[in-house]
Structure 1
Amino acid sequence: MEEYCTSAEYTPRHKFTLWLATWRRLATVDRLQRIGIHVPMDCIFCDSAVETLDHLLFLCPVTHALWNRLLVWLGIQRNIASWQEEVHWACKWARKKTRRGAIICCVFAMVVSIIGGKGTTCDSSQATSIVTGFTGRLPSTSISEART
C-alpha cells in the first residue's frame, strides 16, 4: 500500500489525501464525532446515511455512480466493493507498472482526493454538484473504444 501511495504520478494533494484515506484519517463525519467535533451525521452527498469512509467513497449513491461511470470510461467491468477491497484492487494495478495501470491508479488517487476533500470548502448541494458535474464531463465511450 505504501508503494501505491508514494507513486510519482500523483500531485502532492492527491498523495496526501490518499495517504489520509489509507490510514482512515479523512475528516468524515463519523471520525469527527469520535474526536469530539459535533456536526450533522448525514453524508454530504446523499443526506441519507451516516458519513463513514466506506460510505463516502464507495457506498453513497452519488459517489457510487461516479465510480461506475469511471470504470466504464476505463473499460473495466467490475462491481464496486468496500474501501479496503478497492485499495487492494488499485494496488494490484499499481504493481503492474503499465500505462493502463498508471492511468487507473492516477484516476483512483484523483477521485479519492476530490471526494475526500469535499467537506472543506462546500456545503451539501455544492459537493453533489461537483461530483455530478465531474461525472457529466466523462465521455460515454471507454478509453479503448476511443482509440479505435
Structure 2
Amino acid sequence: MSCILCQEGVESRDHLFFSCPFEGDVWSRVLRVMASSHRIGHWGVELSWICHQGIGKGVRRKLWCVLWCATIYFIWNERNHRLHGGQARDPIVLFHNICTWIRVRTGSWQEGFRACKKEDASVESNQDLGWGFSKRKSGSN
C-alpha cells in the first residue's frame, strides 16, 4: 500500500513516522520548537533517542516525552483520517493541533516553553504559537 500522506513511499512504520515528506514537515516544526538540531532517523534510532531525552528530571524532559508521543499520535490520526475519507490537512494544521494538545495536557506544569513564538513565519495569521504556559509561583506544579 502506498503512503496515504505523500503518495510516494510504501507505507511502513519507518516511512509513515520518520521518512515521509509530510511528517518530515511536522517533525521539523516540532524540533525547531524545542531548539533541537536532532536529525530524524528510523524507528529504533528515534525510540532510543527519545528514551535518552527522557532521562533525568524537569519540565523539559517531560515535555520531550509528551511531545514525541503526541507527534506520533497525530501523524497516525492524520493517516487514519485520510484513509477513512476525511479531508487532508496541512502539516501546519497538524503542528497547531499538537501545540494545542500539549498546552492542554501540560497546563498545570510549573514552567513552560515559549519557543513556538519565534518559529514559523509561514503562518499567515501570524498568531502566537507559544505553548501558552505562564510561570506559576514557587511551590506550584
Normalising TM by the smaller chain, what interval? 0.5 to 0.7
- Identity, in percent, stands at 23
Residue 140 of structure 1 deviates from its aligned partner by: 5.5
Q: Hey, which of these two has a bigger chunk of helix by percent?
A: 1
Contiguous gaps of at least 5 residues in structure 1: 1-40
Asked if residue 62 in structure 1 is aligned to residue 39 in structure 2, the reply is no
User: Cα deviations across residues 55-85 of structure 1 (Å, max 9, x unaligned)?
Assistant: 0001000101110111001111121111111
Q: Give the alignment of 1:121-136 within 5 angstroms.
A: 121-123=81-83, 126=86, 128-129=88-89, 131-135=91-95
User: Cα deviations across residues 23-53 of structure 1 (Å, max 9, x unaligned)?
Assistant: xxxxxxxxxxxxxxxxxx1101000110000
Asked if residue 91 in structure 1 is aligned to residue 51 in structure 2, the reply is yes
- Mapped contact 2:82–2:88 kept (Cα < 8 A): no
Task: Please tell me the residue identity of whatever aligns with 2:34.
Answer: L
Contiguous gaps of at least 5 residues in structure 2: 100-115, 120-129, 135-141
- Mapped contact 2:16–2:23 kept (Cα < 8 A): yes
- Mapped contact 1:66–1:131 kept (Cα < 8 A): yes
Cα RMSD between the aligned structures? 2.8
The TM-score with structure 1 as length reference comes to 0.60
Tell which has more relative contact order, 1 or 2 (C-alpha 8 A, sep 6+). 1
